[in-house]
Structure 1
Amino acid sequence: MSYRGVPNNGFNGSTAMNQQQSGFDYSAGQSRAFNAVNQNNLSNGNKANYSNNNSGNFMNKIQNGFDQMNEFAEELTDKPIVKRLQPYIPGLARFFIVATFYEDSIRLLTQWSDQVFFLHKWKHYPRWFVIIFLISVTIVMIIGSTLLVLRKQTNYATGALCSCIILQGLVYGLFTGSSFILRNFSVIGGLLIAFSDSIVQNKTTFGMLPELQDKSQKFKGYLLLAGRILIVLMFVGFAFSKSWFTVFLTLGGTVCFAIGYKTKLASLLLGLILVVYNLSLNNYWFHQDSKRDFLRYEFYQNLSIIGGLLLVTNTGAGDYSVDSKKKIY
């Protein structure tokens, strides 16, 4: 026959007699050994559970801290002083967004001869082209910025200002620098957010057709998504030139802002970082000559991006964001 297990060997008989003769209780020893093994296994399991609980508690603490900061950002809009200022925030944000265009127009008018000399002598453009180009760009930037602040013809104003950015980059030959490209893409992102804000305020339907309203809402959502992504491009170069703590905060804020997660907190965080560095590093009022012009350009470019961030805190992230999907699901 085949093997069926360990033979009995007379455990109940001879073993019991040996126990009586030796005075050792084999059953009790076997129970103690069994309990020791089980206790050791339980101890190892408790250690593993303790380790898992520690890591889980650490992540929970981070999540709780993040939620508390987000609650603070959400509750900030309920403060009485913020409630009083809230009707003026969109207008102030739009003015910040177009401030760089007003500054550029003033610079062209006050430095007219220098601009003509640079484009005509150094860039070798015909003089008649330079004159027409500078006059056209100056007028378009002033009118387009004013229309955007007043929320009048915002589609034409946004298109005209975006065209000015592209044309000036091409004519002045500024598209060779990555910093210029990223910064001006972010300014375009702010313009798109300002344009989307006009769609939020001007909700109109024709003949009470809900389909047109749905198309308008979808278009607004796409604009906000594109604007959020373009705005954070500037922070790619900005973050890595600062301290490691600023890099950590900026990267976390840009990811959350781009995907629309805890958007109000991310907007306030990025805006605060940009305000601090703008006032401390781009303080052009303390400098003279060419450095003053360069810092002033940087200051108003950053102010434009701050305006876009401020506007998002008021309008929200839009339909195409994690915050919006969380409300649905």
Structure 2
Amino acid sequence: MSARISLARPAAASGGYAPDPHGFGNTRSSSGYRAANPDDPLEKLRAFARTVEENVDIYSQPLKPHLPAIGRFLIVVTFLEDSLRIVSQWGDQLWYLQKHRHFWWGFSHLFLAINVLTMIFGSGAVIFKKNSEYAVGGLLGVVVMQAFGYGLIFDLNFFLRNLSVIGGLLMVLTDSMYTRKKIFAGLPTLSENDRKKYFLLAGRVLLIFLFLGFMLRGQWSIGRAIVSLVGLGACGMVAVGFKAKWSAAFLVIMLSIFNAFINAWWSVHSAHPQRDFLKYDFFQTLSIVGGLILLVNMGPGGLSVDEKKKTY
């Protein structure tokens, strides 16, 4: 103790100025955080991601008030098209159900009528945000009924596409929860928030199955392989909720371009049997685009990497 005191006293006793009496000017390197190196490839990637995310926010700003309405309409447009197709091909539908699916005469009529009415009223309720929970439940019932009624439950492409449609419907359900007005102010809403998070997680994961179906179809080429890898990476980011907004926006652009060129049903003659299949794929892809648009608007929710990064 006495040795340390004697060493510290000469500077003060000599009357000299001690510029750093508390030792703040320590020249040793700090073991704390260091400034980011702008030449680091990982830091460049992070800066690029931030720039893209900022641009998505900037350019989507004029459309942002309209994104929920656009997303909800696109999600149900496949149901509206399907109801119109059933009505316009009523005789063919009855013949198929009775001849190939062995439906009774009256039951086939009832099956088609229930499908058409549920799709029309359910889609209208989703678009105008009236009783969205019941509308989504009815449309989910239509997806299940048609899968079993038309015998397509074991068709892998149909199964994957309809999983994505279900994901879009779950996004509608989550959107209605986010925008629902509180009836009793001040009451705890923990369980409601938990439902939102889980529905949003399920919707995010299910939306990407359409792209998996795309990868399993058609002939492979170098261009297709590159697009598939990039799209699969974006789908993975959407599923885990990492940079979810701009990866979802990227998929919206990518699927829209793919849909316009690959599923161009309007360029096929009306008598060609392929026209109906292309039309069906086109409107189902629009439904997935609508779900992704709602994701861009709402964000990935609490069960996501983006949300966890805010916490830590």
TM-score scaled by length of structure 2: 0.82
Letter in 1 for 2:45: G
Higher helix share: 1
Q: Deviations over 1:42-92 (max 9, x none)?
A: xxxxxxxxxxxxxx999x42552354144323333234xx43322111101
Structure 2 match to 1:226: 202
Query: Distance in 2 between the 1:217 and 1:318 partners?
Result: 10
**Matched pairs, number:** 269
SS of equivalent residue, structure 2 residue 53: helix
Query: Which whole-Å deviations, capped at 9, do the CAs of 1:147-186 have from their partners, x for residues lacking one?
Result: 0111111110011001100001101000121110010010
Answer yes or no: is 1:267 the counterpart of 2:243: no
1:217 is matched with which residue: 193, 214, 224? 193
Q: Distance in 1 between matches of 2:293 and 2:143?
A: 22
Can you give the 5+ residue segments of structure 2 that lack an aligned partner in the other structure? 1-36
Q: Distance in 2 between matches of 1:75 and 1:298?
A: 31
| Amino acid across the alignment from 2:304 | S
Distance 2:198 2:47 in 1: 27
Structure-2 separation of matches of 1:191 and 1:264: 18
Q: Percent identity?
A: 37
Q: Are 1:303 and 2:277 an aligned pair?
A: no
Matched, 1:190 2:181: no
**Aligned equivalents of 1:314, 1:168: Cα separation in 2:** 30
How far has the Cα of 1:238 moved from its partner? Answer: 1.6
Name the counterpart of 1:5.
Answer: none
Q: Note the alpha carbon deviations across 1:81-135, whole angstroms, 9 max, x for none.
A: x433221111011100001000000000100000001101221110100001101
Q: In structure 1, what is the Cα distance between the partners aligned to 2:216 and 2:155?
A: 17
Aligned match of 2:262 in 281, 303, 328?
Answer: 281
Query: 2:213, 2:42 → 1: CA distance?
Result: 27
Taking the aligned partners of 1:66 and 1:280, their CA distance within structure 2 comes to 33
Cα RMSD between the aligned structures? 1.8
Q: 35, 60, 63: which one pairs with 1:85?
A: 63
Equivalent residue for 2:14?
none
1:193–1:223 Cα contact (<8 Å) kept: yes
Rate the CA distance shift 1:155–1:190 in 2: closer, same or farther, 3 A: same
Using a 3 Å threshold, how does the CA distance of structure 1 residues 275 and 70 change in structure 2: closer, same or farther? farther
- Measured in 1, the distance between the counterparts of 2:194 and 2:86 equals 39
Query: What's the counterpart of residue 36 of structure 1?
Result: none
Mapped to 1, the partners of 2:237 and 2:88 lie a distance apart of: 41
For each residue in 1:258-284, what CA deviation from the matched residue of structure 2 results, as whole angstroms up to 9, or x when unmatched? 000000111012122211110111000
Which residue in 2 is equivalent to 1:317? 300
Residues 106 and 63 of structure 1: CA distance in aligned 2, closer, same or farther (over 3 Å): farther
For residue 274 of structure 2, the aligned residue among 272, 291, 302 is 291
Alpha-carbon separation, structure 2, partners of 1:202 and 1:143 = 20
What are structure 1's unaligned runs of at least 5 residues?
A: 1-55
Give the counterpart letter for 2:230 in structure 1: L
Instruction: Identify the residue that residue 30 of structure 1 maps to in structure 2.
Output: none
Q: Secondary structure at the match of 2:273?
A: helix
* Equivalent-residue separation in structure 1 for 2:258 and 2:202 (angstroms): 25
* Equivalent residues of 1:70, 1:264 under 8 A apart: no
What's the CA shift for 1:250?
Answer: 1.1
Question: AA paired with 1:314?
Answer: N
Secondary structure, aligned partner of 2:254: helix
Partner residue in 1 for 2:12: none
